Structures are given as C-alpha cells and as structure tokens.
Structure 1
Amino acid sequence: MLEGVNVALGVTGSIAAVKTVELAHELRRQGAEVRGVMTGSAQGIIHPWAVEFATDNDVVTEITGSVEHVELCGYDGWADVFLIAPATANTVGKIAGAVDDTPVTTCATTALGADTPVVIAPAMHEPMYDHPGVLEAIDTVAEWGVEFVDPRIEEGKAKIASEEAIVCDVARAAGDRSLEGRHVVITTGATAESIDPVRVITNRSSGKMGRAVARACYARGADVTLVHGVVGPQSASAYASPPPAIPYATVRNVESAAEMLEATRDVCTDADTLVSAAAIGDYTVEGSDEKLRSGRERSLELEPTPKLIDSIRDERPELPIVGFKAEASGDESAMIGQARDTLERAGLAFVVANDASVMGADRTAALLVHEDDAARYEGTKSGLGGEIADSIAAIVGERGS
C-alpha cells in the first residue's frame, strides 16, 4: 500500500509513543521508507535508539545547522508525507499557532509551507481532546488540508488510532487520489440463511478480498461503503480476538442474501461504482422459528436467491459494476468463459475470476476478465485490491471525461 513512499514520522510526548516501534514496522511492512523525528518529551518515553532500530534510519532529535526540517519536509524535501503519531494537544495547538520550538512542530510548519501532506494521529486524555481550544486548533489545522486520524475513545482516553487506520490515511494523503470525490460501494463476506434460530446455511468466504478492495479505493481518495456479510467457517484461531474496526469505510452489516440486496440497493442510489465481491448464497430456505430437534431425518426445500448484480443493474443501468466469479474447477479457460458469460449478461465493467480454494487465504490467483482480454494476477489480496482500484479509477475517469 505504501510502496515507494517516504514517511517522516514525528513522535511527541504522549504515552502512546510506546507504540511507535510497531507503527514504524507496519509502515515499512507496507512498503514505506521511514525516518523518525522526536520531541524532547517523546525521548522521555521512548529512547531514540528504539526509533532508530524500528526505522533503520538516524533519528532527528534536534534541529541543527544541517536544517533537518527543510531537508525532510521542505520544497523538494525527502518526505512524501509527514506523519505525527502520536500527537499531543500541546503539539496540535503549537502547529495551529505556527509555534516552532520542537523538531516535530518545526517540521510541521515547514511541511505546511511546502505543501507536503501532513497526517496527524492525536492521543491524549478525553477531557483534553474535548477542550474548546484543542478542538478549535484541530479545526484550524484541518482547514489547511491536514488529515486527522480520529482517535479511539475508550476508558476516558482519546487513544491513538489503530495501525491500520493510520496506514490507510497515510496512503490516502500520499496517493494520487484517482478516485477523489467518488462513492464506491463494495459487498464482501458471506451470506447466511437461517434454518432455525441456531443453524444457518453459509459458505467459507472471509471477506478479505472485499476489504482489500475497500482499502485500496479509500487510499485513492474514494468514499467507501462496505456492505459486509458474515465470515464463513474458520479455524478457532480466527476468533482469538474481537474483529478489528474498519476505519476506511462506512460499514453496513448484513446476514442474509435478502438483507445484502436491500442494503446494497439503498447505498447504491448515489454510488459511482459497485464492486460485488461478496460470496452471496445461491439458495435460501424457509426457516423455523423454533429450534429443530436433532436425531430426525429432514429435508430442506431450497429456493434460489435473487442475483444482486442483476437487480442493481435493472435499477442503475448506467452504473459501472465489477463482478466476482469463483470457480472450483481450476480450469483457466472455463473460468474465463464463465466470467465472460456473467460480464455479458449483466453488462459489467469487468469480472474478477478466481479459484474457490483461495477463500480465507491472504494470497490469491485471479483473472481480470474484460470484454476483449483477460489479465492474470498472482500475489496478495492487498495487491489485487490495488489492481482492481486502478481499473475502477480508469473506468470512472473515462466516463467522467
């Protein structure tokens, strides 16, 4: 997500500075080059050697005759984006007042003057975050184009945002914004049809692919709505902790195929694109209001569920729709044929055809099938999400022009 991006990481004197090492590692895992800048207060919480270790670069702890702030964040400076994480109330107030008495605030003033993107992840106690002066400072700085990564309000504290949220906003700030002002709707996950209050019919979809597309579209500037179904059967390790929040999209949680269609129909009224990545069940069943007793033979009468893309196509004939087609045969020519049938039937922009064996995995092999050609992709689902987002940007751009 951050391949080739240079991130100057400003660290200030919040206790959340203890998370800096892992944040720096995550930025680098996503492809970024990172250089640290620290205030004196931050150095009282985490040693500069730890930040040097995490970034594999020297750390700026004072501004010297080498004018480090200009070299990092000035005109033609090294940084593509200046990230301050964590940012204290003190630092945000100083930035709003152009007070430059720490390496971080001096870099911030320089970046703002040089039009280098700035991203701020605040962290402080909740009463400080609610102070009128702090809120006014945040509003002032935001009006200058600074991106704020909203903190998590927990236990009376405005805790620093998750690493995923920070990485997504850094990617958005540093990217080309090819989907700026566009509303992208993405369906993902599995659907589940109730047999009775405790039993369902579902499938193995994890929703990873749809979430990867959502992150990629968000990083390109889109407003993203994610219509998220359930997560299919997985090993116990998948449930070791609560599922993380999704900071890059407005989420509509649904369960059944009917609920997914209704929610998608609702949010597509002003959509610029629909990506139908969900593994929607092909059949539903008339469920029982009471739990069915075990030990008896039973037959379930299955009824076909409506095709979501066909229903949306009828209502929005001009809407670019990206379809997904999962096949279990492993036969590439058959996958392309099935994808083209779907593409032509529903008038889709393109179809992503993949092998059903990748459900739940982090890597995938897929074919991006257009009307006249098919491109093969092998790699991470995150990488495929980027390819899909770029294709969407090209299609939406052509229509917009």
Structure 2
Amino acid sequence: MLEGVNVALGVTGSIAAVKTVELVHELRRRGAEVRGVMTDSARGIVHPWTVEFATDNDVVTEITGEVQHVDLCGYDGWADVFLIAPATANTVGKIAAAIDDTPVTTCATTALGTDVPVVIVPAMHKPMYDHPGVLEAIDAVDEWGVEFVDPRIEEGKAKIASEEAIVCAIARAAGPAPLEGERVVVTSGATAESVDPVRVLTNRSSGKMGRAVARACYVRGADVTLVHGVVGPRPLSSDSGAGDVPYAAVREVETAAEMIETTREACVGADTLVSAAAIGDYTLESRVEKIRSGQDVTLELESTAKLIDEIRADRPELPIVGFKTETAGDESTMIAQARETLGRADLAFVVANDASVMGADETRALLVHAEDAARFEGTKAGLGGEIADSIAAILSVE
C-alpha cells in the first residue's frame, strides 16, 4: 500500500513512543522508506539508535547547519509525507501556534509551508486530549489540511491509533485522490438466516474482498460506508482476522433482509455501490425452540430478494458494481453468468470469481464489462485497488 512512499517520522515524548519500532517495521513492510526525527523528550523514552536500527537510516535529533528540516520537508525535499506518531499535546499546540523549537515542530512548520502532507497521530492521557486548548489546536491544524488519526480511547487514555489506521492515513495523504468527495457504499461478508435459536444458514464468505475494496476507495479519497454481514457468523468487532476498520463507517447486519434495508439507507446520497457481500439466496421461518438432534428435519426455504435489483429500483442512475461467484471454474461460463447479471441490473461492471477463493488472501477474478473482460490474479488488496480505479474512471466521465 505504501510502495515508493518516503515517510519522515516525527517521534515526540509520549510514552507511546515505545511503539515506534513496531510502527516503523509495519511501514517498511508495506513498502515505505522511513527516516526518523526525534525531540529531546522522545530520546528519553526511545534511544535514537533504536530508531536508526529500525529505519536503517540516520535519525535527526537536532537541526544543524545541514538544515535537515529543509532536506526532509522543504521544496523538493525527500519526504512524501511527514508523520508525527505519537504526537503529544505540547507538540500539537506548538504546531498550531507555528512554534518550531524542536526538530519535529521545525519539520512540521516546513512541511506546512511547502504543502508536504502532514499526518498527526495524537497519544496522551484523556484529560489532556479533552483540554479546550488542545481541541482548539487540533481544529485549527485540521483546517490547514493536516490529517489527524483519532486515538483509541481506553482506560482513561487517548492511546495511539492502530498501525492499520496510521498506514491508511498515510496512503490517503500521499497518493492521488481520484475519489475525493465521492461517497461509496460497500457490502461485505456473509449473511445468516436463523434456523432455530442455535443454528443459522450461512456461507463461507470471509468479507476480505469487501474490506479490500472499502480500504482502496478510502485511500483514493472516498467517504466509505461498509455494510458488513456476519462472518462465521461473528460480528466484525469480534473477528480477529478483520482487525479494526479505520477506513469506513461500519454498519453490521445479520440477515439478507437487514443487509438490503441497511444498504438502501446507506445508498441515499451515495455515488457508487459495490455489492461484494455473499448474501444468502434463501431464508426460512425460524423455529422458536432448538431442533433436537438425532432426527431427520426438512427445512422449507424461500428465495431472498436480490440486493442489486432492490437498490436499482430505488436508484436507477446509481453506478453499481456487482460480484458473481461460480463453482464451474470455466471462464466462458463465468463471463456469461456475469453478463446476464450485468444486463439485468444495468451494472457498471461485474467481478466474477471462483468459489475456491473464499476466505483466501489471494484471488483470481474477471472484471466483466459489456464488451470485454479483464483477468486479474493476485492479492485481494490488489484487486480492491483495480476495482477502486475502475470506479474512479466511471465517475470521472459522468
């Protein structure tokens, strides 16, 4: 996600600075090059040698005649993004007042003067975060276009945001924003229909593909709503494989009917819908009491409504991206089925894939348009990017 991005990392004197090494490793794992800048207070928590080892670059601990701030964040400087993580209340207040008496605040002043994107990740005790002056400083700097990554409020502390949230914010700040100002709704995961108070009828979808699309759209500047069906059936908040979702407003649902109704509400004023969820094709009347084991049972299934048809009826002009999963494994069959759905619901395009990729990180898919079909093979994150770029191209000509 951060391939080719140069990140100047400012570290200040919050105890959350102990997480700096882990954060640097994650940034580099995602493809970024990192150079560290530290305040004196930060050096009392993490030794500069530690940051040097993690980044594999020299660390700036003072501004000298080499004008390191200009080298990093000046016109034609090295950095694509200046990230301050963690940022103390002291540092946020100084940036808002244009006080640059530390290497970090001097780099921030320089970056703001040269339009280098700045991402600030606050971390402090909650009473400090709630101080009117700190909140005023955050609002002031936010108006300048600085990206703030909200802290996690836990145990009376405004803790540093997750690595996922920080990575997404950097990618959004550093990259092009072809979807800026657009509202995108993405459905993900599986729905479940209650058989009795214990059992449900569901499917194998993990929701990874929908989350990849939502993340890719967010990184490209979109305002994203993720309508997420239960997985396994577990809500997203308890799915250890999902992690947090800093890139979207999440609305969790369980049944197909709930998925349709929540998506309908989310699509009011939306610019695009990506229907990636594996919505159950059948529902049934749930038994009031648990069905006893050891007996044969016949379940009467009824067809559920098709989400894309329901939304199309409400929003005839809305660009909708559909997904079509098949088990045949034959490309011609997949394309034919995708084009049938494409025509029936007047979709922008359809992503056709084989059921064997459900739950996997890697995928194989066909992006099927009315006149052609493009093959994709790689990660679901990569496919999410392809889908987001296609959406941007469609919206740009409307």
> How many angstroms apart in 2 are the aligned matches of 1:193 and 1:117?
46
- 1:190 corresponds to which residue? 190
Task: Check conservation: 2:192, 2:233, Cα contact below 8 A.
Answer: no
Task: Check conservation: 2:230, 2:253, Cα contact below 8 A.
Answer: yes
- 1:35 corresponds to which residue? 35
Matched, 1:320 2:312: no
Task: Check conservation: 2:188, 2:277, Cα contact below 8 A.
Answer: yes
> How many angstroms apart in 2 are the aligned matches of 1:376 and 1:53?
41
- After TM superposition, the score normalised by the length of structure 1 is 0.96
Superposed, 1:330-345 pairs within 5 Å as 330-345=329-344
> How many angstroms apart in 2 are the aligned matches of 1:241 and 1:248?
17
Equivalent position amino acid for 2:338 in 1: A
Residues 362-386 of structure 1, C-alpha deviations (whole Å, 9 max, x = no match): 1111111111111111111111111
> How many angstroms apart in 2 are the aligned matches of 1:31 and 1:328?
35
Superposed, 1:347-358 pairs within 5 Å as 347-358=346-357
- 2:85 corresponds to which residue? 85
Residues 332-354 of structure 1, C-alpha deviations (whole Å, 9 max, x = no match): 12111111111111111011111
- 1:23 corresponds to which residue? 23
Superposed, 1:65-84 pairs within 5 Å as 65-84=65-84
- After TM superposition, the score normalised by the length of structure 2 is 0.97
SS at match of 1:83: strand
Equivalent position amino acid for 1:133 in 2: G
Residues 28-64 of structure 1, C-alpha deviations (whole Å, 9 max, x = no match): 2222111111111111111212212222222111111
Matched, 1:9 2:9: yes
SS at match of 1:34: strand
> How many angstroms apart in 2 are the aligned matches of 1:53 and 1:358?
39
Greater CA deviation, 197-206 or 59-68?
59-68
> How many angstroms apart in 1 are the aligned matches of 2:100 and 2:13?
15
- 1:369 corresponds to which residue? 368
- 1:382 corresponds to which residue? 381
Equivalent position amino acid for 1:262 in 2: E
- 2:297 corresponds to which residue? 298
SS at match of 2:221: coil
> How many angstroms apart in 1 are the aligned matches of 2:369 and 2:20?
43
Q: Cα gap change, 1:123/1:112 in structure 2, threshold over 3 Å: closer, same or farther?
A: same
Task: Check conservation: 1:18, 1:45, Cα contact below 8 A.
Answer: yes
Superposed, 1:254-333 pairs within 5 Å as 254-333=253-332
Equivalent position amino acid for 2:348 in 1: A
> How many angstroms apart in 1 are the aligned matches of 2:291 and 2:318?
43
> How many angstroms apart in 2 are the aligned matches of 1:168 and 1:242?
17
Superposed, 1:106-185 pairs within 5 Å as 106-185=106-185
Note the C-alpha offset of 1:245: 2.5
Runs of 4+ aligned structure 1 residues displaced above 4 Å come to: 238-243
Note the C-alpha offset of 1:239: 7.3
> How many angstroms apart in 1 are the aligned matches of 2:263 and 2:233?
24
Matched, 1:219 2:213: no
Q: Cα gap change, 1:256/1:395 in structure 2, threshold over 3 Å: closer, same or farther?
A: same
Superposed, 1:232-247 pairs within 5 Å as 232=232, 241=240, 244-247=243-246
Q: Structure 1 unaligned runs (5+)?
A: none
Residues 39-93 of structure 1, C-alpha deviations (whole Å, 9 max, x = no match): 1111111121221222222211111111110011011111111010000001101
Task: Check conservation: 1:229, 1:254, Cα contact below 8 A.
Answer: yes
SS at match of 1:138: helix
> How many angstroms apart in 2 are the aligned matches of 1:53 and 1:240?
34
Q: Structure 2 unaligned runs (5+)?
A: none
Equivalent position amino acid for 2:300 in 1: E
> How many angstroms apart in 2 are the aligned matches of 1:213 and 1:292?
39
Equivalent position amino acid for 2:333 in 1: A
Task: Check conservation: 1:204, 1:233, Cα contact below 8 A.
Answer: no
Equivalent position amino acid for 1:253 in 2: E
> How many angstroms apart in 2 are the aligned matches of 1:195 and 1:367?
35
SS at match of 1:270: coil
Task: Check conservation: 1:184, 1:222, Cα contact below 8 A.
Answer: yes
Q: Cα gap change, 1:190/1:242 in structure 2, threshold over 3 Å: closer, same or farther?
A: closer
Task: Check conservation: 2:164, 2:244, Cα contact below 8 A.
Answer: no
Matched, 1:250 2:249: yes
- 1:45 corresponds to which residue? 45
> How many angstroms apart in 1 are the aligned matches of 2:49 and 2:335?
53
> How many angstroms apart in 1 are the aligned matches of 2:252 and 2:115?
38
> How many angstroms apart in 2 are the aligned matches of 1:339 and 1:305?
19
Number of residue pairs matched by the alignment: 396
Equivalent position amino acid for 1:204 in 2: R
> How many angstroms apart in 2 are the aligned matches of 1:358 and 1:186?
19
SS at match of 1:378: strand
- 2:104 corresponds to which residue? 104
Residues 150-183 of structure 1, C-alpha deviations (whole Å, 9 max, x = no match): 0001000000010111111111111211111110
Note the C-alpha offset of 1:298: 0.7
SS at match of 1:231: coil
Matched, 1:95 2:112: no
Task: Check conservation: 2:70, 2:77, Cα contact below 8 A.
Answer: yes
Q: Cα gap change, 1:240/1:301 in structure 2, threshold over 3 Å: closer, same or farther?
A: closer
